[in-house]
């Protein structure tokens, strides 16, 4: 049996599953201490099912904790960056495109050194170990031990990054090092940004993952636990400590994977309505469509694999203004059960309007019986208009497509959605995000440029597939279950040497405990 947990800004959802069957589920308010909220949800879902903790095989946790840390500028460790690429790249130093407040918080400690490669593996300039050693001493003297190392085209050849890491560890034995080649994709600045973010989040990741473990220990759950990644797959706890940035956007991804599982559809649009926001994404072959462009996290461009989602400020806790009519984006968030009219509060929310409309029986309906019928109809129409516009933005053609509606706030969807061929609200829709975490597999990917002048296309594909498979195994997948689910090949006509970019995604089942 598996337990899936999804920690959102408003609610912490948990579900216990036996294979494809949902045994029990719960939805509790998210707490300021994330671990406490998880422990409460786990305790509830276990009590409702009546099973023993010893019968649980694994716990899968999705969290927005690390994304929130960057967005809110909290709990970030000052970090140094070493870039290998002189004399190139001088005009765009590390963190050049970061917001000033975030750069100042992380420290803005950046250093350039010789090295780097061209796309085909040729050196830009000779690597100078003594230069890197001198930089490491400066970083040590500045009292920093969180370090990101990037090199031009390191996904093609990571040798200089690895050599630099060895030198830095000689000078700073307790160095916390992130190599950009292990995280990002081809683009230098975006990959480097991701590496710096990863380093500044690692201390928080260690505390958070240890907190998750403490919550499980409190409930005497000895099963291994895993953290959701942003591509709909899982990584083990130790891997999550090393690469916390890979959890960004795992919440919407879990909802989409859960929606695919519950509905049986592999190609559709998913509308996930929460307490504060509504996230719209596209399912392709059962997995979220991947964003083609760089993704902005807290004002910083990154380029690791992220779902293509569109969020609007609409949720069950959205504030309602009548003159002029306005729905959201402000929300009472996780305080919905305290501040909404139907729960004894004094703030008019979207949930109150839906209850007043008679389509849902939640809380005290008498508390909203005084609402004007015209206002109720106008708000419901505005909500459906907001959702229809968001769905239309995510479509690639005018052809009607199935729309799956999930999330605790999906009571807001009271009518047909323009552009939808059908609307599916599957069983267990309020906890689709936790179900998405519970059913997830383990994944790995490769994104490299190969020169087909030096090896054949088949050899390049085999190398890329092997690298993606190895990364999946390292993240906790059973090697015998590895499956290649996506191969994308883009010939780069503007580069010499018959260059081609190959992106491969591999997934596999969890290693049995």
Domain containing 117 — which CATH number? 3.40.50
Q: pTM value?
A: 0.78
Could you read off the pLDDT of 458-480 as tens digits, one per residue? 999 999 999 999 988 887 788 99
Last residue of a domain, one of 182, 200, 218: 200
Last residue of a domain, one of 165, 200, 235: 200
Query: What pLDDT is stored for residue 131 in this prediction?
Result: 97
Which residue do the tokens 């969890």 mark?
510
The reply to whether 141 falls in a domain is: yes
The reply to whether 104 falls in a domain is: yes
Distance CA 73, CA 76 (A): 7
Query: Residue 307 pairs with which residues in a beta bridge?
Result: 290
Asked if 81 contacts 196 with a C-beta cutoff of 8 angstroms, the reply is: yes
Could you read off the pLDDT of 373-424 as tens digits, one per residue? 999 999 999 999 999 999 999 998 889 999 999 988 899 999 999 889 999 9
The reply to whether 88 falls in a domain is: yes
Asked if 337 contacts 343 with a C-beta cutoff of 8 angstroms, the reply is: yes
CATH code of the domain containing 446: 3.30.1490
Query: What pLDDT is stored for residue 512 in this prediction?
Result: 66
Give the structural domain span for 477: 441-508
Last residue of a domain, one of 150, 166, 200: 200
CA angle 290, 237, 10 (to 5 degrees): 65
C-alpha dist (Å) from residue 424 to 20, 25, 427: 19, 20, 10
Instruction: Report which of 474, 488, 403 is spatially closest to residue 442, judged by C-alpha positions.
Output: 474
Distance CA 25, CA 357 (A): 27
For the record, the structure tokens of 226 come out as 């895993």
The reply to whether 290 falls in a domain is: no
Distance CA 431, CA 502 (A): 36
Cis peptide before 257 (omega within 30 of 0): no
Query: Residue 406 pairs with which residues in a beta bridge?
Result: 272
3-state secondary structure of 331: strand
Query: What pLDDT is stored for residue 387 in this prediction?
Result: 95
Query: What pLDDT is stored for residue 251 in this prediction?
Result: 77
Distance CA 99, CA 21 (A): 46
% the chain with pLDDT above 90: 46
Cis peptide before 367 (omega within 30 of 0): no
The reply to whether 40 falls in a domain is: no
Asked if 438 contacts 3 with a C-beta cutoff of 8 angstroms, the reply is: yes
First to last CA, the chain: 12
Give the residue ranges of the chain where pLDDT is below 50.
none
Which residue do the tokens 């139907």 mark?
342
Distance CA 301, CA 480 (A): 36
Query: Helices H, strands E: what count in the chain?
Result: 13, 23
**What one-character DSSP code corresponds to residue 412?**
G
The alpha carbon torsion through 93, 97, 101, 107 (nearest 10 deg) reads -20
Distance CA 406, CA 425 (A): 6
CA angle 10, 16, 19 (to 5 degrees): 135
H-run or E-run covering 149: strand 146-151
The reply to whether 496 falls in a domain is: yes
Q: How many domains does the chain have?
A: 2
- Residue 71 φ/ψ, nearest 5 degrees: -65, -40
The reply to whether 188 falls in a domain is: yes
The reply to whether 127 falls in a domain is: yes
């Amino acid at each position: 049996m598996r337990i899936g947990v999804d920690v959102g800004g408003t609610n912490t959802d948990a579900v216990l599953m036996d294979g494809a069957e949902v045994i029990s589920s719960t939805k509790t308010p998210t707490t300021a201490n994330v671990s406490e909220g998880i422990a409460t949800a786990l305790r509830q879902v276990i009590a409702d099912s009546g099973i023993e903790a010893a019968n649980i095989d694994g716990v899968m946790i999705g969290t927005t904790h690390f994304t929130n840390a960057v967005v809110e500028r909290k709990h970030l460790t000052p970090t140094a960056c070493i870039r290998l690429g002189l004399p190139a790249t001088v005009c765009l130093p590390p963190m050049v495109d970061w917001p000033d407040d975030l750069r100042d918080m992380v420290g803005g400690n950046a250093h350039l050194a010789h090295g780097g490669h061209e796309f085909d593996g040729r050196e830009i300039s000779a690597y100078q170990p003594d230069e890197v050693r001198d930089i490491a001493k400066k970083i040590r003297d500045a009292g920093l031990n969180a370090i990101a190392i990037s090199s031009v085209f390191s996904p093609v050849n990571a040798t200089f990054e690895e050599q630099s890491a060895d030198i830095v560890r000689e000078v700073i034995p307790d160095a916390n090092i992130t190599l950009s080649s292990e995280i990002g994709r081809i683009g230098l600045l975006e990959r480097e940004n991701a590496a710096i973010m990863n380093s500044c989040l690692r201390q928080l990741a260690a505390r958070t993952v240890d907190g998750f473990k403490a919550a499980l220990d409190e409930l005497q759950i000895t099963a291994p636990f895993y953290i959701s990644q942003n591509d709909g797959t899982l990584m083990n706890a130790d891997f999550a400590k090393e690469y916390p940035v890979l959890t960004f956007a795992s919440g919407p991804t879990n909802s989409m994977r859960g929606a695919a599982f519950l509905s049986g559809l592999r190609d559709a649009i998913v509308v996930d309505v929460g307490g504060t926001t509504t996230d719209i994404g596209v399912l392709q072959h059962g997995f979220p469509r991947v964003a083609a462009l760089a993704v902005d996290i807290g004002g910083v461009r990154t380029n690791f694999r992220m779902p293509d989602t569109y969020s609007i400020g609409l949720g069950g806790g959205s504030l309602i203004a009548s003159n002029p009519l306005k729905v959201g984006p402000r929300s009472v968030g996780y305080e919905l059960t305290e501040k909404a009219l139907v729960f004894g509060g004094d703030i008019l929310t979207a949930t109150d309007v839906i209850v007043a409309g008679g389509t849902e029986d939640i809380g005290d309906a008498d508390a909203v019986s005084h609402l004007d019928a015209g206002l109720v109809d106008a708000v419901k129409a505005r909500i459906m208009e907001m959702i229809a516009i968001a769905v239309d933005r995510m479509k690639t053609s005018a052809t009607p497509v199935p729309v799956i509606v999930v999330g605790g706030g999906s009571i807001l969807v009271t009518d047909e959605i323009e552009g939808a061929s059908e609307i599916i609200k599957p069983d267990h829709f309020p906890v689709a995000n936790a179900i998405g975490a519970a059913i997830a597999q383990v994944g790995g990917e490769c994104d490299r440029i190969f020169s087909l002048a030096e090896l054949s296309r088949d050899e390049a594909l085999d190398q890329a597939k092997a690298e993606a498979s190895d990364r999946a195994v390292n993240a906790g997948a059973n090697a015998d279950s590895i499956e290649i689910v996506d191969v994308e090949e883009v010939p780069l006509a503007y580069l010499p040497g018959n260059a081609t970019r190959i992106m491969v995604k591999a997934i596999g089942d969890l290693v049995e405990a």
